[in-house]
Every structure is written in structure tokens, then in C-alpha cells.
Amino acid sequence: MQTALSIALDAFAYGMALFIICIGLSLTMGLMRLVNLAHGAFAMIGGYIASYAARDLGLGYGYGFGIALAVAGTVLIAVPLERLLFRRIYDRSALSQVLMTIGITFCVIGITNYVFGPTLKTIPLPADLARPIDLGFRSIAGHRLFVIASGLAVAGGLWFLIERTGFGIKLRAAVENAPMSRALGVRTELIYAASFALAVALAAFGGAVGAEFLPIEPYYALRYMVTFLVVVSVGGAGSIPGALAACLLLGAIDVTGRYLMPDFGNFFFYLAVILVVCAFPRGLMGRAP
């Protein structure tokens, strides 16, 4: 019973970390119709900046500052990339998008390794988050609780932004019919750039707070590329509840598999993916094409 509970809590926290990273990708793929395999590369850049800020700058500003810097820095790197590269493939075929974003990923990995070296980077946790916190029935590492809370906040905030604000309406309009939206005075390029920046910011945030689960190293961008893509596709691109369900389901399967049958590796994870995609070819809560 105790094991089951700790597996469940671990799986929940891991699923939420996945969610924070993947939801940005789900939005770019579902709403902007862009298959961005470089999403993990942005999460990795966020992790590197957070680690660099928290460890090497040594300013003592701590964890929160590191994360804020990670988000801002990654967006700053992503904006010129959007203008130069991504903007040219919004209306190209999925294969072109896959190829270019794999290319960007490879470049980021090569450059990161050149600058930071191949070693693992950690992001030191502040004392408050490193301590276990007593929940009454169980104690849980403070950091995991923080990840869970962040995940819930991201889910709620995004839902509000897309369903309840003017920006959300313009975004959905731009996706449905770009020429019509432009005729109505919606600046679609700006909307696309802003949602791209939002997706990147979420990736960087997730990369930094999720580093306990997905350790930061140069191959990060490629190692987890498949995981992120799989999660989004299982959930159904563009659906926030779908992404949440997929992250929790696949996180649970992954963590349970590792606990109970560690030498099977990711076997059950991928088996589950095949079964789910075959049963729900459009994702758990996918929008009709």
C-alpha cells in the first residue's frame, strides 16, 4: 500500500512535469499546425540557463530567479529563430516541418555540447523545496509538490487564456481561417509569434522545474523528443484536457513500469502508446481534423 502510494505520487509529479513541457508543443501542433520537434531543445535551453544562473552566476538570487531567467532567456533565443526559420514552414508539409525542426534540434545539441560540454547539469534546489513536506497520510518531497502545483496552475491559466480572453479568440480565428482573420484586422503574424513565444516559455519553464525528472544534458533534446511527441499525439494535439490525461496516464505507466519491472525499460510505455493510438487514432481528446 505504501509502495503504491509513493508510486502514485511520483507518477503524478512526473506526469505534471511532462505536462508543463508538452502543453506548449500540443498548442503549437494543434492550434498552429506546426510539428515542432525542436520543442525539447527549447526545454533543454531553459534547463541550461536555469542551471547556469543558479550555480555559476553565484549571485544567490536562488531558484525563482534562475527559472525566470530561463524563461526570458529562452524566449529571447527563440524569437529570432521564429522570424528566420519557423515562420517559413508554418504552411509547409508536415514532413518539411519534421525535417527542419529535427535539423534545428541537431544544431542546438551540437552547439550546447560545444559551449557547456557533455556533462550533466543540475539545478540546485532551495532548502524549502528540498525538504519533505508532511501531507498527513504521506510525506512528499517539497519540489514534487511544487511541480504539481505549477502544472495545475499552467493548465488553469492556459485554459482561461484560450477559452476566455480576446487573445484566445483571435488565435482560434487565425487558425481556422487566416485570410479571413487578416481581413477582419487580426494581425495573424503577431498572434502566431506570440503563441510561439508562449509555447517556448512553457517549454523553458518545464525544462527548468522538471530537471529532477528529466536531467539536463546535451542529448536531452533528442532523448525526450520522442516522449514529448508521443504524449501530445496520445492526448490529441491542441487539447489541454487531452494533454493532461495523456501525461498522467503515460507518466503513471512509465513510473510504475520502472518501479515494478525496471529491466523492461520503456517497453510498457511504448506498448501503451501503440494500444492507445490504435484505439484512439485522433488522440484521447483530439479535435476532428
Nearer to another protein, 81 or 133 (CB): 81
Q: Does 282 bind another protein (CB under 8 A)?
A: yes
Cell of 283: 488522440
Among 55, 57, 83, 88, the residue binding another protein under the rule CB under 8 A is: 88
Q: Does 105 bind another protein (CB under 8 A)?
A: yes
Phi, psi of 134 (to 5 degrees): -85, 120
- Give me the least distance between CB of 265 and another protein, in Å please: 5
Q: Which residues pair with 133 in a beta bridge?
A: 140
Half-sphere exposure of 261 (CA within 13 A, CB side): 9
- Residue 143: which of 94, 243, 210, 68 has the closest Cα? 210
Among 1, 127, 183, 274, the residue binding another protein under the rule CB under 8 A is: 274
Please list every residue from 213 through 242 that binds another protein, using CB under 8 A.
Answer: 218, 226, 229-230, 233-234, 237
- Give me the least distance between CB of 278 and another protein, in Å please: 5
Interaxial angle between packed helices 267-279 and 225-235, expressed in degrees from 0 to 180 and rounded to the nearest 10: 30
Q: Does 185 bind another protein (CB under 8 A)?
A: no
- Residue 228: which of 32, 25, 64 has the closest Cα? 25
Among 77, 102, 173, 186, the residue binding another protein under the rule CB under 8 A is: 102
240 within 8 A of 155, measured Cβ to Cβ: yes
- Give me the least distance between CB of 85 and another protein, in Å please: 7
Q: Does 265 bind another protein (CB under 8 A)?
A: yes
Q: Does 120 bind another protein (CB under 8 A)?
A: no
Among 68, 85, 133, 197, the residue binding another protein under the rule CB under 8 A is: 85
Among 2, 3, 80, 95, the residue binding another protein under the rule CB under 8 A is: 95
Count of CB atoms within 10 A of residue 258's CB?
A: 19
Q: How many residues does the chain have?
A: 289
Nearer to another protein, 150 or 227 (CB): 227
Nearer to another protein, 127 or 279 (CB): 279
109 within 8 A of 218, measured Cβ to Cβ: yes
The residue with cell 477582419 is 184
Indicate the burial class of 30 (C-beta count within 10 angstroms; 0-12, 13-18, 19 or more): buried
d(C-alpha 109, C-alpha 286), whole Å: 31
143 within 8 A of 212, measured Cβ to Cβ: yes
SS3 212: coil
- Give me the least distance between CB of 181 and another protein, in Å please: 24
**Contact map string, positions 35 to 64, toward another protein, x by CB under 8 A:** x-----------------------------
Among 110, 124, 132, 241, the residue binding another protein under the rule CB under 8 A is: 110
Residues within the interface to another protein (CB under 8 A) = 29, 35, 85, 88-89, 92, 94-96, 98-100, 102-111, 113-114, 118, 218, 226, 229-230, 233-234, 237, 263-267, 270-271, 273-274, 277-278, 281-283, 289
